[in-house]
Structure 1
Amino acid sequence: MATNNRAVAYTGNGGVTVKEIEFPELVLKDGPGVNPKNVGRKCEHGVILKVVSTNICGSDQHMVRGRTTAPEGLVLGHEITGEVIETGRDVEFVKKGDLVSVPFNIACGRCRNCIEGKTHICLHVNPDRPGSAYGYVDMGGWVGGQAEYVMVPYADFQVLKFPDKDEAMEKILDLTMLSDIFPTGFHGAHKAGVKMGSTVYIAGAGPVGLAVAHSAQLLGASAVIVGDLIDERLAQAESFGCETINVGNHDNISEQIEQILGVPEVDAAVDCVGFEAHGHNHQEAPAAVLNSIMDATKAGGGLGIPGLYVTEDPGASEEDARRGLLKLDFGLGWAKAQSFATGQTPVMQYHHGLMMSILKGKADIAKAVNATVIGLDEAPRGYEEFDGGAAKKFVLDPHNLIRT
């Protein structure tokens, strides 16, 4: 068995580096970002994975930009697909050699929330608050999966085993999206109420926005409109049938929607930008997207908000925003009787169904998000290009196992 391990770590200065870290064991050890109450936590219910693919996420980018309280040295990565190489004493149903997708939510399967299917807000994995994730700030300190090997706790409950390993490897660029981005996109569209014939506006043409757009199409939307500031990303949305709006060129989204649909509003809208939102003047305005989608969505419509919002933003230009307080036009949303769905996505509610859609040729998520494979050593370049607005979803291939 291998004893070396390399991983992508936050350097604390707006960048990342690839460095040697400890080979994972079935225990959570002390390290950058690990909650003291989690140190020494035994995980005989867990497995060790040889990472086959692990993706760079926009949520990672928020940390790398210095917009959270993430500590230097934090090992990044919560989108993980891998082969089981070791199982804990208490693991019964997951076997060595299984190829599995790992939900980015860490969930025990035993608390009240997990039993109710709310695996995004598990009560037992993060001493600070409900909910946890790999390689993420204030999430308990579980080591990230942008690495060669990673430990995954509560394996029997959490991991999604692919039925046939060879078939899965043929579709690995689609299946790697099951750990986060595809369920998150589907969740955003579903919670916004997208259904057959719906008209939908999606704020943000990054990978999550593109995943929402593809999900809205799968749900039967009649028109999917995507807004962004970057023409390259808008072109990617157009490549699979979306209408687009460059919001940097227009100060009124409703007028642009009317030009496309004939009416100035949509049935549902999804915010895939989050707290680093910018207004049409390219100036940062954390509540700009939320206010714009309330305005552009019909009375009684739904708003899905998978875009990330935080309780602390040290890089914000305003004091309120530094504490997670936004100038939200909530009265408008209330007056229009709109529904709001926020928070992490409970991946386990969706990943099996989306896996079957991929395996049966009904979903083409890798094409929609422009999945682009790079080696682990190329991660710093991937982060830099992604930060620059590249219309790509970077997939790290630590062991050169992906054929493209």
Structure 2
Amino acid sequence: MVVDRHPDRLKLVEEIGAIPIDDSKVDPVEAVNEMTMGLGADNGCECVGYQAHDVEGNEHPNMTLNRLVQSVRFTGTIGVVGVYIPQDPGASDELAKQGEVVFDYGQFWFRGQTMGSGQAPVKKYNRRLRDMIAGGKANPSWIVSHELSLDEAPDAYEHFDNRDDGWTKVILHPSGANA
């Protein structure tokens, strides 16, 4: 199950065989719990970070974390790969400005969940993943929406940051030539 509200990304979710949940149309906690007979997902992954926001566009840095606590089963695991920074002067509230979020620790503790977080250990996996791609065992290119020259990076970043339709992942080619 993948929660999102952008039609282009929800379409990709379906294409890889996952279940899309459009949180602009349904409560994602209720949807996950309904699909799991009230048990919750075995595991959940927070991939948004401090920029999580509601359907109206209001920033809620803790929204995804707290929704995961409610939709992951008792003793389940939550991974946090979304970016949370120590300080965000432009944040929506005073806590977030200090890199803090209101987290439902009581419910997290009661459910006996575990959480792992931090930046991906790229050096631990990069050679193995490269070999899987080269050997045809993994094909991550399905997520790439654009291949552009390095000169086009500012425009591409703006589209990606705005979550414009069809901008999922961008590959930049320093030489300007598309692969």
- TM-score normalised to structure 2 length: 0.91
CA contact (8 A) 2:149 2:177 kept: no
Instruction: List alignment gaps of at least 5 residues for structure 2.
Output: none
- Which consecutive segments of 4 or more residues in structure 1 shift more than 6 A? none
2:47 to 251, 255, 272: 272
Task: Give the conservation status (yes or no) of the 8 Å contact 1:256–1:264.
Answer: no
* AA in 1 matched with 2:23: V
Q: Distance in 2 between matches of 1:341 and 1:266?
A: 16
Q: Is there any run of 5+ residues in structure 1 with no aligned partner, and where?
A: 1-224
* CA gap 1:254/1:317 in 2 versus in 1, 3 angstroms: closer
After TM superposition, list the pairs within 5 Å mapping 1:118-137 onto structure 2.
Answer: none
Post-superposition shift, 1:248? 2.0
Give yes or no for contact 1:248–1:282 (8 Å, CA) kept in 2.
Answer: no
Match of 1:297 in 2: 72
User: Can you list the C-alpha shifts for 1:86-133, whole angstroms capped at 9, x where unaligned?
Assistant: xxxxxxxxxxxxxxxxxxxxxxxxxxxxxxxxxxxxxxxxxxxxxxxx
Compute the displacement of 1:281 (Å).
Answer: 4.7
Whole-angstrom distance in 2 between the partners of 1:325 and 1:382: 30
Is 1:395–2:171 an aligned residue pair?
yes
Deviation track 1:40-70 (CA, whole Å, cap 9, x = no partner) reads xxxxxxxxxxxxxxxxxxxxxxxxxxxxxxx
Give the Cα–Cα distance (whole angstroms) in 1 for the partners of residues 38 and 135 of structure 2.
37
Partner of residue 159 from structure 2, selected from 385, 396, 404: 385
Q: Which residue of 2 aligns with 1:317?
A: 92
Counterpart position of 1:353:
128
SS at match of 1:383: helix
Does the 8 Å contact 1:248/1:280 carry over to 2? Answer: yes
In the alignment, which residue of structure 2 is the partner of 1:249? Answer: 25
> Which residue is 2:112 aligned to?
337
Q: Structure 2 vs 1, CA of residues 282 and 229 (structure 1 numbering), >3 Å: closer, same or farther?
A: farther
> In the TM superposition, what are the counterparts of 1:61-100 in structure 2 within 5 Å?
none
* Deviations 1:340-392 (CA, angstroms, capped at 9, x unpaired): 1111111121112211211111111111x224210111112101210221442
| 2:101 is the counterpart of 1:326 | yes
Q: 1:16 maps to which residue?
A: none
What is the root-mean-square deviation in Å for CA atoms of aligned residues?
1.7
Q: Which has the larger radius of gyration?
A: 1
TM-score, length-normalised on structure 1? Answer: 0.42
Aligned length: 177
- Taking structure 1 as reference, are residues 401 and 282 closer, same or farther at Cα in structure 2, changes over 3 Å only? closer
Q: Aligned in 2, Cα 1:249/1:283: closer, same or farther, shift over 3 Å?
A: farther
